[in-house]
A and B are shown apart, each in its own frame.
Chain A
């Protein structure tokens, strides 16, 4: 059948003009292909590489290629880890292009993938992608947590931290409560930050969640948002200002990941780790924390402040850190591939000889927890918050 229904009506319609123009600068050097964590799972064919995806995208924008279900599937096999962007010779905003074309596939009814549709249904019904009852949102709180009824600082727990990996959130907030840091918490009212929907191209559903959160921030007169989640902090920092403008809502709020906040408190002298923690650890830079926000130094500064702790780096660290496999909707729809990527990274961590793999993102924690269970690895896994807590008198 010769149909043009899945061709863009005119060149660049699928992408913003600057994105399409940036795509034209591709040098076809293949640096992205070598570093992509999902490319090896395409059986070795070039077609599964970011370079081939971009080649397709250019042809599609010029009306020479059709968006097929096979291509849509390939476009969703990306964890949005930004490694391709980090090594790109011409600095093409590749992840933005992947997100744009995913949104285009949703507009055309070809995307998202089945698991992403379920995520959307859950998010629309329950306000979180896991289908958890929002009345359970405060279940992680313990008596030692002391959120104030009103404060300029709002704790944004994030869905994964709240429902799936509450240990990180519980301990991280306990550190703040111990220091008497004033914050408020909107347990029961907080919605998903919309990251899973934005990354999978479901922009309309994302907008509705963003609008609800923006209203919440306005009601609470929030000046600063703190969050333990890499994905939430990236979305709140990078996407919310733009979508707030589109929604005509204010968003004049500073966003801090826990790592930034702890470093600030360390430097101000409020946070004083003093009890030795006799461990050798290796640190996994979460993609959305490191490459997305440039937060490489902060976690290491916290680790260095903990007495007795020894940090041994993996070969892939900081900008060159490898993905845990969970992002971009990959874990939801391609769990086998996500698991393989996580186990690969786990092997890299084990090879350092460290006792413990440390990270600062509940999404990465969840990914590695499963990988450790499945592989029977003996390496411990913990959030940096837990090490920090252990070092406090």
Chain B
């Protein structure tokens, strides 16, 4: 019996070798130039749908037996290449492995399978008076396991920190088939590693009491004012979540939605407050920072649209998105640098404040991936990362494309432990290969991720001078037929 036959026998209709089905699993949310995509062997040889931890264990057994690479995949809503099968082999689709296993209401925690979608989890918790503490802005589709694998900060992070801070315990199946139940620093070893050390088959998540937040928004004149306001709000108000949007971001969003932007200069900070608070106290804090309270409807709409940050792509058609983490103290300086470098593109910045005086920052420039200079301009997407590093910040995630940053993302000690664990359980690097150190550049001994970062560094000065090719400024609707 060969590998294909054995997979068929074990998984029946839950495995496919169909080329057309494979093509749906050869990419993630990132819009990479085809030349770059061709440097990794991205089409899998088979896709297996896992519906239980037994399915995961069986897939790992067979991958080991036949020496096949195996890449776990959630909804692939990230653009770092973490779910792209860089060496082909098996893609293990975990979306159907998605049950809420157990709920402890008095102690506010939930045991879930990794494929559960954030928004669906929130709906399942609601009748019990609970809700997610943190979630990504892609909550309507992204999975809990996927966010753990990529790592993340987002909605709710002002009060509750990163996702890792809210994971109480995990069960992981390592490539050698061993099951590990871990918490604290041991669980943290697996966080942000794209499943390269093992596949998480259960997560115990801390939950919060459900409640409808009060959602005011304020305008602030500059980056220093934003930080001052966030500090004061953290001290005086029951802030659950805080989101910073630059006037450029508001302008791009408004253009995409055909509306007037809520602010024309400076920044907008929208808050979600859980607890006693009123508009007056928010207005007083904003006023002390040189800003003012915006109309209640603006705050409400911003909160209602919290899962739609990519709406501005409508005015694209493509986006150059750069992601980084910047400490509060470095934000004003980073903002000035970003303005100098990307100002000509009318870029937008959106950031979620994170416990510990950090900001998870996304910068957006509208572009057109079909333009022949797009691959060169892609280097702009890494400019915010370098700016962040200059101001005490660092990468947000590494995935496959930025795997060369894993050491700086994890820290030396975690990186060392991760490599040691990998060697012990998967010395052939078959579990999500290339995501700890980066895949090899084909036919060379070079590391693709390092080459990409070096190339981007060299191209950045030129890229920064190239204005983005944004082609959808005028979106007149045609009539059909």
Contacts and interface: CB of A to CB of B under 8 A. Distances in A.
Nearest to A238: B480
B308 A55 contact: no
Given A29-B29, A29-B141, A70-B20, 8 more contacts: A18-B477, A28-B77, A29-B138, A31-B141, A34-B120, A45-B47, A90-B310, A90-B313
B410 interface: no
B481 A243 contact: yes
B284 interface: no
A182 B256 CA distance: 45
B372 to A, nearest CB: 14
Contacts of B234: none
A262 to B, nearest CB: 31
Interface stretch (B188-196, B314-322, B432-440): B314-322
A46 B24 contact: yes
B49 A43 contact: yes
Given A43-B14, A245-B479, A27 B29 contact: yes
28 contacts: A16-B480, A18-B477, A24-B318, A24-B369, A25-B472, A30-B141, A31-B141, A33-B75, A33-B141, A34-B140, A34-B141, A43-B14, A43-B49, A44-B14, A44-B49, A44-B96, A45-B21, A45-B47, A45-B93, A46-B24, A46-B95, A47-B23, A55-B24, A59-B23, A87-B140, A91-B314, A242-B481, A243-B481
Nearest to A23: B317
Interface string A40-71: 00011111010010011001000001001011
Interface string A74-114: 00000000000001011100001000000000000000000
Nearest to A100: B480
B23 A28 contact: no
A89 B310 contact: yes
Q: What interface size band does chain B fall in?
A: 35 or more
A242 B13 contact: no
Contacts of A16: 478, 480
B350 to A, nearest CB: 14
A21 interface: yes
Interface in A195-252: 203, 242-243, 245-246
Contacts of A27: 29, 310, 313, 319
Contact of B77 (A29, A52, A96): A29
B311 interface: yes
Contacts of A34: 117, 119-120, 140-141
A351 B391 CA distance: 55
Interface residues of A, number: 38
B13 A43 contact: yes
Interface of B: 13-14, 16, 18, 20-21, 23-25, 27-29, 31, 47, 49, 75-77, 93, 95-96, 117, 119-120, 138, 140-142, 256, 307-308, 310-311, 313-314, 316-319, 368-370, 471-472, 477-481
A60 B208 CA distance: 46
Contact of B317 (A24, A49, A52, A203): A24
A90 B315 CA distance: 8
Chain A at the B interface: SS class:
helix
B140 A28 contact: no
Interface of A: 16-18, 21-22, 24-25, 27-31, 33-34, 43-47, 49, 52, 55-56, 59, 65, 68, 70-71, 87, 89-91, 96, 203, 242-243, 245-246
Contacts of B49: 43-45
Contacts of A52: 24
A22 to B, nearest CB: 8
A325 to B, nearest CB: 21
Contacts of A18: 477-478
B402 to A, nearest CB: 18
A341 to B, nearest CB: 18
B306 to A, nearest CB: 12
Given A21-B317, A246-B481, A28 B28 contact: yes
A255 B107 CA distance: 57
Contacts of A243: 481
B138 A24 contact: no
A91 B138 CA distance: 16
B361 to A, nearest CB: 19
Contacts of A43: 13-14, 49
Nearest to B257: A91
9 tightest CB-CB pairs across the interface, nearest first?
A24-B317, A30-B141, A27-B310, A90-B314, A52-B24, A28-B29, A47-B24, A46-B24, A25-B317
Contacts of B477: 18
Contacts of A21: 317, 471-472
A87 B479 CA distance: 23
Nearest to B472: A21
Contacts of B47: 45-46
B81 to A, nearest CB: 13
B293 to A, nearest CB: 28
A4 to B, nearest CB: 17
- The interface centre, meaning the residue of B117, B119, B311 with most chain A CB atoms within 10 A of its CB, is B311
A30 B478 contact: no
B29 A89 contact: no
A27 B370 CA distance: 15
Contacts of B471: 21
Contacts of B478: 16-18
Contacts of A70: 18, 20
A20 B228 CA distance: 45
A241 to B, nearest CB: 8
Contacts of B370: 24
- The interface centre, meaning the residue of A44, A52, A89 with most chain B CB atoms within 10 A of its CB, is A89
A215 B93 CA distance: 54
Contacts of A25: 313-314, 316-318, 472
A59 B43 CA distance: 15
A33 B119 CA distance: 14
A16 B471 CA distance: 16
Nearest to B31: A28
Contacts of A49: 24
Contacts of A71: 20
B25 A46 contact: yes
A242 B313 contact: no
Contacts of B307: 31
Contacts of B29: 27-29
- The interface centre, meaning the residue of A24, A52, A56 with most chain B CB atoms within 10 A of its CB, is A24
A18 B475 CA distance: 9
Nearest to A103: B481
Nearest to B318: A24
A30 B95 CA distance: 12
Nearest to B30: A28
B117 to A, nearest CB: 6
Contacts of A91: 311, 314
A90 B481 contact: no
A28 B311 CA distance: 12
